A and B are shown apart, each in its own frame.
Chain A
């Protein structure tokens, strides 16, 4: 194999890489109500108070909070600080694309991600309990990526 052939092959690989990266980047972009595969829409969201959304969403198999989730939780923390008699349950959920028991653990971990964040914003752990439903209580029963993204969530529910 001569040098020009090697270079030519190398070039092809490089082009292929660029095309693939481009595709990968495109998937990360916002497509309708999804960013990556995290739900960014509002139609299943309810409000604890005006301007305080009750839920945050997660990527597949992930438990880390997105920038948008952290913003939502800061609003929840501010609202909880103002209403110091209110206690909440954080209900953690998973989508239907995982085994039942692992999803119970995943839901618990998601709700705790949200709880930890509320605590760093001054909410006492006594006021926040956690309940995982795994994949048992979807909000959207559809079997499609958008429905699954709505179901991967932690919902803050007033307990009193």
Chain B
């Protein structure tokens, strides 16, 4: 499906802008950058055509609203109120009157144009440095009209990258477990949605319990745990075709699956006779390799982005703690030494940090530490939360949080939350139903 999307990316003007404005992303959202997102302009003919095809009154405004919302959600930008804009969108895209934008304190300005060309959606947009009075970037691309939401996400990624110096994470999806029903008999389905909560889709019917879906770095495949026929096993699911298959032929429970960074292997736990160890399976030749061999519980494995190391949790010291080892299982080293229990380690896509869940004195924390265990930072504390997953740029963590149930069985909810690496900008990610076990995809386009 992804290949079907035709993106013609062309640079309108070569840019050589000086980094006069930039967003300091190391300090969180203490002073988000004021930006003006002028609605993308449209000619009457294009307006009519898109209205017919997409049932959207003003597609240009809708796309810029996506950009605006994305930037706002990041916590690094403060999109200004459109009512204050003095210049018309079509004129602004040709030549912004910088004094006008300066007046409303905008430091960056996004303008653009949407046209209907040969049954396709063509978008061009420009990013302007208001203070310097310069164009920073100009891009145009063409795609099928039904892709219009992705256009908004791609524009955001480009703007974000230009202003922060880091890749964005907006043209991405989240796979998660949708939950319904009483806690004692929860119905769980795999679901997928765009990073901003739109285009939600259920991938399983809820006939069997499903847990812990994780994206492949190639984005077409998901690995997860299913209780199909009451046999808890790791499965592969092709999101595009809906094809499912069990991974490997193990006599006992397989669980806690993740892909290797190249997408060619699954790493997971296999439990038999009361002992869980870590294994990998090569998806091409189906060769299974045992990685740990220890009488303790070894689970929740996650590869480093270079594929050379693995982090996992084990209770070999009596309690659940975080370890790292080489990808062949050698050089096992405990790295968590703080008070409490540590679990669900996930290696950052940047390679420098490991995110984890910590349980201490009846509270659950999401935190990060360096890969040698130093520099532990707890980002958020709550009654129950776990299972952080990194945004592809290693900037944001998404996890799930459950609320307390009272003695009458009331008050329970499970929701997705996200938080910036700095510990700022914690917010709930809206989902149609209760939700858990989120996993962030990599960027769909680059």
Contacts and interface: CB of A to CB of B under 8 A. Distances in A.
Interface in B177-196: 182-186
Contacts of A141: 182-184, 405, 409, 412
A108 B269 CA distance: 12
Contact of A99 (B185, B362, B387, B409): B387
A100 interface: yes
A102 B299 contact: yes
Nearest to A144: B407
Contacts of A116: 274
A115 B16 CA distance: 70
A102 B269 CA distance: 10
A142 interface: yes
A140 to B, nearest CB: 8
Contact of A102 (B297, B404, B437): B297
Interface in A135-153: 136-144, 147
Contacts of B412: 141, 143
Interface string A75-119: 000000000000000000000111111101110110111001000
Contacts of A144: 407
Contact of B299 (A96, A97, A105): A105
Contacts of A66: none
A130 B404 CA distance: 30
A21 interface: no
Nearest to B256: A101
Interface string B385-422: 01100000000000000101111010010000000000
A40 interface: no
B407 A142 contact: yes
B161 to A, nearest CB: 34
Nearest to B357: A99
Residue among A63, A96, A140, A142 with the highest chain B CB neighbour number at 10 A: A142
Nearest to A159: B230
A48 interface: no
B236 to A, nearest CB: 18
A142 B359 CA distance: 19
- Number of chain A interface residues as a range: 20 to 34
A142 B409 contact: yes
A142 B406 CA distance: 5
B219 interface: no
B184 A105 contact: no
Contacts of B276: 105, 108-109
Given A97-B359, A100-B387, A101-B212, A109 B297 contact: yes
A102 B232 contact: no
Nearest to B343: A99
Interface in B352-402: 357, 359, 362, 383-384, 386-387, 402
Interface residues of B, number: 45
Interface string B185-210: 11000000000000000000000010
Interface string B285-318: 0000000000001011000000000000101000
Contact of B232 (A104, A139, A147): A104
Contacts of A143: 383, 404-406, 412
B283 interface: no
Contact of A104 (B186, B255, B273, B384): B255
B255 A102 contact: no
A153 B357 CA distance: 24
B331 interface: no
Interface string B269-282: 10101111000000
B274 A113 contact: yes
A101 B232 contact: no
A9 interface: no
Given A96-B402, A102-B320, A112 B273 contact: yes
B319 interface: yes
A139 B184 contact: yes
A144 to B, nearest CB: 7
Given A105-B276, A137-B184, A99 B344 contact: yes
Contact of B211 (A100, A102, A130, A147): A100
A30 to B, nearest CB: 21
B417 to A, nearest CB: 16
15 contacts: A97-B384, A99-B344, A99-B357, A100-B211, A101-B300, A102-B297, A104-B271, A108-B252, A113-B274, A116-B274, A130-B252, A132-B232, A136-B186, A141-B184, A142-B409
Query: Which 3 residue pairs spanning A and B have beta carbons closest together?
Result: A112-B274, A141-B183, A99-B343
Given A102-B297, A112-B274, 15 more contacts: A97-B362, A98-B343, A99-B313, A100-B211, A100-B437, A102-B315, A104-B299, A109-B275, A111-B274, A139-B184, A141-B182, A142-B405, A142-B406, A147-B405, A147-B407
Interface of B: 182-186, 209, 211-212, 225, 230, 232, 252-253, 255-256, 269, 271, 273-276, 297, 299-300, 313, 315, 319-320, 343-344, 357, 359, 362, 383-384, 386-387, 402, 404-407, 409, 412, 437
